[in-house]
C-alpha cells in the first residue's frame, strides 16, 4: 500500500458528566483522529492522548505535532507500507507510542478494509460480544458515588471500577461493597500512592477486589513487586506497561498478577496482541482498558477484547457512558455486553454530520 495522504482531525466531545481521577477532572474529550488515505481504501485511527500530559507524558497537541513533523512524512515516503511494518519504520522516533498507535491503527484499518477483513478476525477474536465494565470517577460524596454505581448496575454493567486516591479509598470501597454485595469490583489509583502507603492499601484486602490497578508510579515496577508482597489484592499494571518487554519484566518480577492492555499506550494493536499472547502463555489474565474513546477507538478495542486471554471485563463501556452523541452509531449494552463489529476494518464509519458537529480543526498532509 502507498499512503497518499494523512488527515489530522481534532474533535471536541462534551462528556455527559465530569470524570474525576487522581490526576484531574475531564469535562470534555479533546480527540485527535487520524485518517489514512491509500489508493484502495481509507482507514481511521483514534489517538488516545489526553489534552494534558497527566495520565502519561503524551498529550494531544504533542501527538499531532510528532505525526505532522516526523511520523506521517516517514510513512508517506515509504513504499509498500503494511501495518506490520509501521512500527519498525517509525522506530527511529523514540517514544510517542500513542501517536504511533493512531497512525498504525489507521493503516491497519485501511489494509483490512481493502481486503474485506474485520479487526476481530484479523486479531483472533473468539467471541461475538464482550462483557462491559465501567470506570466510576471520584465523587464529592459517598451518596453521589452510590447513586452513580446504582445507575450503572441498573444499566447492566457487569463490573464496577472505582477510581481511588489518598483519602478516597477504603471508605468508598467499603460503602460500595456493603451496599451492592457480591458484584465484580476493582479499583484504579492512577499512580497516586507510594510504597509508604502499603498499610492503607492493605486495608483494601478485606473487600475481595478483583484487583488494584496502578497504585504506584509508572516507573516503579520493582516497587510494585514489593507492594504485591505486602497486600493480598492482586496488583494490575496499566501506565507501567508500555511494551511487551515491560510486560515480560513485570511478570518475571511478580509486579503484576493482571495486566490492563490499552493499544494506544503500547503503540498499537499488534503490540497489544503480543502482550495478550505473552500473558496468556504465562497464565496472566488481561482486560482491555479505555481512554474515553469515541466509537472509532471503541470499535477496535471491542474487537481486541474478544481475544481468548481477555478473561476479565474491560473498561469497554457503551458510548452513552461518556457521550450524548457519538461520532459513529453508538455502542449499546445488550445484556451487559457490547457486540464485536463484523464489518471490514474497525467495522464502523464516522457519521459525517456528527463528525462535522464536533470538529474543531482539520489538516491534510499530502504525500509529496
Q: What distance in Å separates the CA atoms of residue 180 and residue 205, rounded to the nearest whole number?
A: 17
Nearer of residues 26 and 238 to Mg ion, judged by Cβ: 238
In the region spanning residues 236 to 255, those forming contacts with Mg ion, defined by CB under 5 A, are 238
Q: Is residue 135 near ligand SMG by the rule CB under 6 A?
A: yes
Q: How many other CB atoms are there within 10 angstroms of residue 208's CB atom? A: 12
Member of 289, 309, 313, 341 binding ligand SMG (CB under 6 A):
289
Pairing of strands 42-47, 129-131: unpaired
Instruction: From the candidates 29, 96, 161, 163, give the one annotated as an active-site residue.
Output: 163
Q: How many other CB atoms are there within 10 angstroms of residue 167's CB atom? A: 10
Member of 291, 296, 300, 306 binding ligand SMG (CB under 6 A):
291
Beta partners for 362?
9
Examine the residue annotation and report whether 161 is marked as an active-site residue of this protein: no
Place of cell 515509504: 78
Nearer of residues 96 and 163 to Mg ion, judged by Cβ: 163
CB of 317 to Mg ion, least distance (A): 14
Q: Is residue 218 near Mg ion by the rule CB under 5 A?
A: no
Per-residue x/- track, 139-178, Mg ion (CB under 5 A): ----------------------------------------
Q: Is residue 104 near Mg ion by the rule CB under 5 A?
A: no
Nearer of residues 81 and 259 to Mg ion, judged by Cβ: 259
Stretch that binds ligand SMG, among 165-173, 251-259, 268-276, 286-294 (CB under 6 A): 286-294
CB of 91 to ligand SMG, least distance (A): 26
Instruction: Identify the CA nearest to 287 among candidates 307, 313, 265.
Output: 313
- 319 makes contact, choosing from Mg ion, ligand SMG, none, with CB < 5 to 8 Å by partner type, with none
Member of 3, 8, 26, 349 binding ligand SMG (CB under 6 A):
26
Q: Is residue 328 near ligand SMG by the rule CB under 6 A?
A: no
Q: What distance in Å separates the CA atoms of residue 162 and residue 169, rounded to the nearest whole number?
A: 9
Per-residue x/- track, 179-218, ligand SMG (CB under 6 A): ---------x-x----------------------------
Nearer of residues 41 and 152 to ligand SMG, judged by Cβ: 152
Q: Is residue 188 near Mg ion by the rule CB under 5 A?
A: yes
Instruction: From the candidates 89, 97, 100, 262, give the one annotated as an active-site residue.
Output: 262
Distances (CA, A) of 100 to 23, 69, 74, 264, 270: 24, 13, 12, 8, 12
Half-sphere exposure of 231 (CA within 13 A, CB side): 33
Stretch that binds ligand SMG, among 76-84, 144-152, 229-237, 285-293 (CB under 6 A): 285-293
Instruction: Identify the CA nearest to 162 among candidates 227, 216, 210.
Output: 210
Examine the residue annotation and report whether 163 is marked as an active-site residue of this protein: yes
Q: Is residue 238 near ligand SMG by the rule CB under 6 A?
A: yes
Give the binding-site size for Mg ion (rule: CB under 5 A).
3
Per-residue x/- track, 295-324, ligand SMG (CB under 6 A): --------------------x-x-------
Positions that interact with Mg ion (CB under 5 A): 188, 213, 238
Residues with catalytic roles = 163, 262
Positions that interact with ligand SMG (CB under 6 A): 19, 21, 26, 55, 135, 188, 190, 238, 289-292, 315, 317
Amino acid at each position: 500500500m502507498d499512503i497518499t495522504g494523512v488527515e489530522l482531525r481534532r474533535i471536541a466531545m462534551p462528556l455527559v458528566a465530569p470524570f474525576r481521577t487522581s490526576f484531574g477532572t475531564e469535562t470534555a474529550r479533546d480527540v485527535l483522529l487520524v485518517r489514512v488515505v491509500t489508493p484502495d481504501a481509507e482507514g481511521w485511527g483514534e489517538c488516545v492522548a489526553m489534552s494534558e500530559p497527566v495520565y502519561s507524558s503524551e498529550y494531544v497537541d504533542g501527538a499531532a505535532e510528532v505525526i505532522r513533523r516526523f511520523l506521517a512524512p516517514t510513512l508517506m515516503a515509504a513504499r509498500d507500507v503494511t501495518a506490520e511494518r509501521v512500527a519498525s519504520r517509525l522506530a527511529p522516533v523514540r517514544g510517542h507510542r500513542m501517536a504511533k498507535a493512531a497512525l498504525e491503527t489507521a493503516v491497519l484499518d485501511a489494509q483490512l478494509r481493502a481486503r474485506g477483513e474485520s479487526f476481530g478476525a484479523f486479531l483472533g477474536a473468539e467471541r461475538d460480544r464482550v462483557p462491559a465494565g465501567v470506570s466510576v470517577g471520584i465523587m464529592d460524596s459517598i451518596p453521589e458515588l452510590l447513586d452513580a454505581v446504582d445507575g450503572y448496575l441498573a444499566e447492566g454493567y457487569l463490573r464496577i471500577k472505582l477510581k481511588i486516591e489518598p483519602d478516597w479509598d477504603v471508605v468508598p470501597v467499603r460503602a460500595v461493597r456493603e451496599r451492592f454485595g457480591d458484584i465484580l469490583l476493582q479499583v484504579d489509583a492512577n499512580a497516586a500512592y507510594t510504597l509508604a502507603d502499603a498499610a492503607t492499601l492493605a486495608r483494601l484486602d478485606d473487600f475481595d477486589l478483583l484487583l488494584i490497578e496502578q497504585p504506584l508510579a509508572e516507573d516503579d515496577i520493582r516497587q510494585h513487586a514489593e507492594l504485591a508482597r505486602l497486600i493480598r489484592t492482586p496488583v494490575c499494571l496499566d501506565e507501567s506497561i508500555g511494551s511487551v518487554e515491560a510486560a515480560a519484566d513485570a511478570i518475571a518480577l511478580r509486579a503484576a498478577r493482571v495486566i490492563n492492555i490499552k493499544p494506544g499506550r503500547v503503540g498499537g494493536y499488534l503490540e497489544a496482541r503480543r502482550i495478550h499472547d505473552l500473558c496468556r502463555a504465562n497464565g496472566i489474565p488481561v482486560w482491555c482498558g479505555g481512554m474515553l474513546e469515541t466509537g472509532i477507538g471503541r470499535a477496535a478495542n471491542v474487537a481486541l477484547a474478544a481475544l481468548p486471554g481477555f478473561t476479565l471485563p474491560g473498561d469497554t463501556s457503551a458510548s452513552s457512558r461518556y457521550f450524548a452523541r457519538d461520532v459513529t452509531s453508538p455502542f449499546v449494552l445488550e445484556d451487559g455486553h457490547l457486540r464485536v463489529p463484523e464489518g471490514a476494518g474497525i467495522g464502523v464509519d464516522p457519521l459525517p454530520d456528527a463528525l462535522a458537529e464536533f470538529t474543531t480543526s482539520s489538516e491534510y498532509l499530502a504525500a509529496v
